[in-house]
Amino acid sequence: MLDSFIYISDLVGVITCAISGVLVATRLRMDPFGILVLAGVTGIGGGTLRDMMMGSTPVFWITDNTYIYVIIVTAILSVFLINRIHRFPAYLLPIFDAFGLSIFTIIGAQKALMFGFSGTVAIVMGCITGVVGGMIRDILSGQIPFVLQKEVYATASILGATLYVVCDYIQLGSILSMSIAMLGTLSLRLCAIYFHLSLPVFESDK
């Protein structure tokens, strides 16, 4: 049951992040290849780097091609729906991104602990899994990544990964721990979006 919960959650995260990639690509009027690239790197970019850093190779989507098929289908359906709607609300991108962030963060932390890494490393791997796909998407589209701005983004990821590590340490149960941590990440990110919360920024007078 746990393996099924993790696998389904991971696929849902891929779908939501792929949609956010499609939203950016269509907003910038990219061609079909560009749309597929942004959908792909957003959906599996963070997990790919995580697996490479932990030595879990071949990376997950090479051994399970379902991830590739899900990205392709998601991209096609998203483009079709966007063309039908013609305009999409600006708030959709950060919301889809928030769901993907919450899921990927916990999946990354869970996998790191499963491989026997420390809680600290699990938090780092959770954050990498959560934010790197969006970073690559933004860099390829010529934008400053969310995580490098004043957005409460990486902070939400770190909170979620920390919650999962703590819940796992006190043995609340894997599914309950993941659910609590995902909710914590998602709640903080959505509250930051809704209430326009941001981190302080620093600038030099020189």
DSSP symbols for 8-37: HHHHHHHHHHHHHHHHHHHHTT--HHHHHH
Q: What is the pLDDT of residue 206?
A: 58
- Please state, in angstroms and as integers, the Cα–Cα distance from residue 173 to each residue in 36, 80, 166, 167, 179, following that order: 37, 40, 11, 8, 10
Whole-angstrom Cα distance, residue 162 to residue 142?
31
DSSP letter, residue 151 = B
Q: What is the pLDDT of residue 97?
A: 92
DSSP letter, residue 153 = S
With a cut of 50, list the residues of the chain below it in pLDDT. Answer: none
The secondary structure element, H or E, covering residue 158 is: helix 154-169
Average pLDDT, the chain: 93
Q: What is the pLDDT of residue 151?
A: 84
Q: What is the pTM of this model?
A: 0.93
CA atoms within 13 A on the CB side of 138: 15
Q: What is the pLDDT of residue 83?
A: 81
Joined together, the tokens standing for residue 27 give 């907003």
Phi/psi for 95 (5° steps) reads: -70, -50
Joined together, the tokens standing for residue 200 give 């302080």
Give the other-Cβ count within 10 Å of 116's Cβ.
8
Q: What is the pLDDT of residue 146?
A: 77
Whole-angstrom Cα distance, residue 37 to residue 141?
11
pLDDT tens-digit series, residues 139-148: 999 998 878 8
Whole-angstrom Cα distance, residue 87 to residue 205?
41
Q: What is the pLDDT of residue 59?
A: 97
Q: What is the pLDDT of residue 198?
A: 85
